[in-house]
Structure 1
Amino acid sequence: MLDLKPDFGGFFKDETFVGDFTFANSPSAVRRFPFPFDRDQYMYSVNIEPHVPTRPGSVLEHAFDIDEHYVSEMRDRARVLARDPLRCQSLPHMELAGWDLVELIMESLSRDYPQWFTLERSGNDWHWVNKPLGIDQRFTFLDPSTLPYGPMEYITRQMQGDFTLQDERDGNLWVDAGMVTTQADWSLDFDIGMNFFEWHAPVPLAHEKGIFDRALKFLLKLQHGAPVRRFNWTMTVNPLLDTAPETYPEWGPSKTTLTQANLGAKQHLRVELQSLFRLPRSNAIAFSIRAYLGSFQDLVTVPKWGRRLHRVVRDLHPDLAAYKGFLRNRDAMVEWLSKYDDGAPTSPGIWPED
């Protein structure tokens, strides 16, 4: 295991995502939260757009977002992997894709956050420095013996959010590698080796509308240098990143603990910024799933978010509410949120200043 030497000074926070749950968003983190609803109704859709830099200061400013929770999330990832190494798996033919991911992430972070990350290259001799985690690594690109882990595991131990690497063959995409420790109730160990349709089989309503057929056709045309992104969302009781099926007995019972007195603090909207990159050597697709947590009591500080969240939760199709894991608590959530919906129209857009 990497000897993490986290620097909690200055920008980064020292917090936990289990036990005493000391995770909290600063006021600036609340303002940049990627609220996923641009209207008062929600229906599952592809909602893909180009993943280009936009909105300085937002989670969309760079290819990968590094925020105040970075060091704490990396410590939590190390904790989960120490307990269950199968959260990271890579089939043998995906090693080259792992090196592609190393290059993509190191180039992106050193370019976008030079105060924290640096990359020096002389041919295949690379020197990587990750200041927040105290990592100073010299290695030979494409030589796995020069890293403490395989290439995908090495770099994703240093990245917020989950990653899967999808191999393209037989006109389909196959989940053949991944680092998944912050998942919303799905299992890499179960899904590894599945194709695109098998992986998405649990999603209700979308298959009958042909959404995934269109999404696969789109992704098979994805070009190197033209990544795309979309938002997805679900709900989580307590700020818990690891909601895997393997640990359901530990976090599942928390759904029975909500009351009108504690719901604002305990109930969290969990938003995933999902980005897809075509990789140059392997032709695989890297799928980044970055999770953000926002408590209801934080979100309603933005009035239009409070109104819109109430309406989305209240009117969501029951099948989708069940799939997203909050059907049993929907009535309580609607009651709590109703205090923040004055019936006024909400302005378009997802950001507070829109």
Structure 2
Amino acid sequence: MSLRKVDPNNWLTYDSAYEKEHLDKLKYMNGEMHDEVVQVLPNADDSCEELLQIIVEYITRRYPDMFKLDGDDIVIVPMKERYRVRAPYDRHPMEVAGLLVMDDLYVLHLGELDRYYLRACFLACPSGWRLKDRIGWPLHQMHGPVPTWKEKLQKSMEKFFLHIKVDGAIQRNNVFIQPCPGIFHQEPMDQNPPSKTVEDIEIRTELQSLRRLPRTGAVVFTVRTYMNPLTDLGKEPMALNRLWDAVRNYPDKTAAYKVRHLWTDIFEKYCCSILGRGNPDQGLLEEQD
């Protein structure tokens, strides 16, 4: 899965999309969508509070121009907002944590059969699923739709979660070609119509991390989502060629899971046009290896 250690200086990062995404989160949380983006099950408050404290300590040290402590409050300087980060809270600690970062946040607790269960979550970037449906699920059930998960990954990942160390945060990247624009999608991706133009297709890149909280022992899974038009890859022919080759070689179950049938026609035409050939350049791929 190409796991690597988390660079301590880049666990949580920010870019120019922060303000818009932050305002979207507030809109969801202050309206009827609240329970669609935030869920906290009983007995998860303590680990949510611990996660908030770790985030506050990290971002005020790493990004002092964006976040400042003022007594029991944290001030989000560019938004001119403040939230309590110690009890009594004005918002639940999980809500505050989600507003402070650009990542989606998942808190998992060890439960029956030595399996981890999703006990709390702040989800502002769903990719074809609803939080209310999956809160409380064990790890293997959350990954049920993933090809070969049960056959090849479930046992090893359940064992891996048991051995995550407090000082052993790890991360990986995940890439998904989306047949429609936008970062917030609750309906399954296969319910979208086929892409009609290259502008319909976006590259969804996720930077995922895992770490264990030192006091409560909960495992925190973070997902930072980046959305870029497919046309951006036209400026990086080597990256486009590599993605084209990967797409061509998806096993059937992976192709179905990644809804390749919805975007492959437009994607193929775009790759042929930009790269000036009918197939990925194998020589270029060998040079990159």
User: TM-score under structure 1 normalisation?
Assistant: 0.73
- Of the three residues 35, 41, 46, the one matched with 1:86 is 35
Offset of residue 338 of structure 1 = 2.3
Which of the residues 76, 85, 100 maps onto 2:50?
Answer: 100
Aligned residue for 1:228?
Answer: 170
| RCO comparison, higher one (Cα < 8 Å, 6+) | 1
Q: Could you say which residue in structure 1 is the equivalent of 2:3? A: 48
Cα distance in 2, alignment partners of residues 131 and 239 from structure 1: 30
Question: Contact 1:234/1:325 (CA < 8 Å) preserved in 2?
Answer: no
Aligned to 2:78: 132
* Alignment RMSD: 2.1
Structure 1 alignment gaps of length 5 or more: 1-45, 54-60, 350-354
- Superposition deviation, residue 314 in structure 1: 1.9
Alpha carbons 1:237, 1:266 under 8 Å: kept = yes
Q: Which residue identity lines up with residue 89 of structure 1 in the other structure?
A: Q
Contact 1:310 1:338 in 2 (8 A): no
Instruction: Report the secondary structure of 2:259's partner residue.
Output: coil
How far is 1:271 from its partner?
1.0
Decide which of 70, 75, 82 is 2:23's aligned counterpart: 75
Instruction: Label 1:100 to 1:132 Cα distance change in 2 as closer, same or farther (>3 A).
Output: same
Q: 1:193-208 counterparts in 2 under 5 A?
A: 193-208=136-151
Aligned to 1:109: 59
Aligned pairs, how many?
Answer: 280
Preserved contact between residue 201 and residue 263 of structure 2 (Cα < 8 Å): no
Aligned to 1:7: none
Aligned partner letter, 2:28: V
**In the alignment, residue 123 of structure 2 is paired with which amino acid?**
V
CA distance in 1, matches of 2:82, 2:124: 24
* Residue 201 (structure 2) aligned to one of 267, 282, 307: 267
Give, in angstroms, the shift of residue 173 of structure 1.
0.4
Contact 1:313/1:334 (<8 A) preserved: no
Q: How does 1:118-129 map to 2 (within 5 A)?
A: 118-119=68-69, 126-129=72-75
- Native 8 Å contact 2:83 2:91 kept in 1: no
Could you tell me the percent identity over the aligned residues? 24
What is the CA–CA distance in structure 1 between the aligned matches of 2:73 and 2:40, rounded to whole Å?
A: 24
Which residue identity lines up with residue 135 of structure 1 in the other structure? E
TM-score computed with the length of structure 2 as normaliser:
0.89
Unaligned runs of at least 5 residues, structure 2: none
- Cα 1:177–1:212 shift into 2, 3 Å: same
TM-aligned CA distance change 1:285 to 1:152, over 3 Å: same
CA–CA separation in structure 2 for the residues paired with 1:97 and 1:192: 16
Q: Point out 4+ residue stretches in structure 1 off by more than 6 angstroms.
A: none
Deviation of 1:244 after TM superposition, in Å, equals 0.8
Give the superposition deviation at 1:335: 2.3
Equivalent of 1:159, from 81, 89, 101?
101
What letter is aligned with 1:66?
A: Y
The residue type paired with residue 147 of structure 1 is: Y
- What is the identity, as a one-letter code, of the residue corresponding to 1:63? W
Mapped to 2, the partners of 1:200 and 1:189 lie a distance apart of: 16
1:181 aligns with 2:124: yes
Please state how far the C-alpha of 1:83 moved relative to its aligned partner.
Answer: 3.5
Q: What residue is the counterpart of 1:312 in the other structure?
A: 246
Contact 2:51 2:213 in 1 (8 A): yes
Deviations 1:242-277 (A, max 9, x none): 1112xx69x944x33x33xx31x3211101111112
